[in-house]
Amino acid sequence: MIVFSTFYIFGNEVGAAHGILGLVAIIAVAIAMRIVAGKWDRARIREELESSGCTFVSATWAPFGKGSFGEDSSRSYEVCYLNPDGERQYASVKTSLFTDVFWSGDGSPQRFGGRKPEPSPQAPILPNSEGTDCSNCGFFLELEHRFCPHCGAKKQ
């Protein structure tokens, strides 16, 4: 049998039902704050990755991740991202509401130095040549071409 006693809040006597309701409200607020903090953390991680020319894939909360012990206010995440060359990278990250994003090991996107992927080569444009563009790939075709040298499509 559970016996509830009288609770006091700010010096006022309240019944057991009010005390339990208050406890539930406190727990709900704590959960909501954790969800909002997680969204802010992921936004900060995404922002730092994109400033380095990388693409954000995911960030998973890791409560027992690398470096999570001894830090009361920081949260740890396991982050997956694509570097500027499109290769998948994994890193451990620590952050909190009032601190920056800290990358552990060699997973920091700063090592890419903000470089962007090299653009794919485009067909040369010859200003004094007569011709047309390939209807399939857009490659410039001179008058004597019957087939596109880039994609092999027949000239129309």
What are the two backbone dihedrals, phi and then psi, of residue 103, each rounded to the nearest 5 degrees?
Answer: -100, 130
26: left (phi over 0), alpha (psi -120 to 50) or beta: alpha
Residue 100 lies in domain: 7-112
What is the tens place of the pLDDT at every residue in 85-101? 888 988 888 887 777 88
Q: Which tokens go with 46? A: 């995404």
Q: Decide: pTM greater than 0.85.
A: no
Could you tell me if residue 2 is inside a domain? no
- Write 120-129 long-range contacts (CB < 8 A, 24+): 123/150
What pLDDT shows up at residue 109? 76
134 shares its domain with 91 = no
58 shares its domain with 32 = yes
What pLDDT shows up at residue 70? 55
Instruction: Average pLDDT across each block of 10 residues of the chain; the chain has 156 residues. List them in order.
Output: 62 71 88 87 88 88 70 80 87 82 75 61 62 83 83 83
109 in helix, strand or coil? Answer: helix
Could you tell me if residue 91 is inside a domain? yes
Find out whether 102 and 125 touch, Cβ atoms under 8 Å.
no
Length reported for the chain: 156
32 shares its domain with 58 = yes
What pLDDT shows up at residue 57? 92
Nearest to 61, CA basis, from 36, 46, 42, 33: 42
The radius of gyration of the chain's CA atoms, rounded to the nearest angstrom, is: 29
139 shares its domain with 75 = no
What pLDDT shows up at residue 1? 47
78 shares its domain with 146 = no
Q: How many domains does the chain have?
A: 2
125 shares its domain with 49 = no
Could you tell me if residue 1 is inside a domain? no
141 shares its domain with 104 = no
Could you tell me if residue 79 is inside a domain? yes
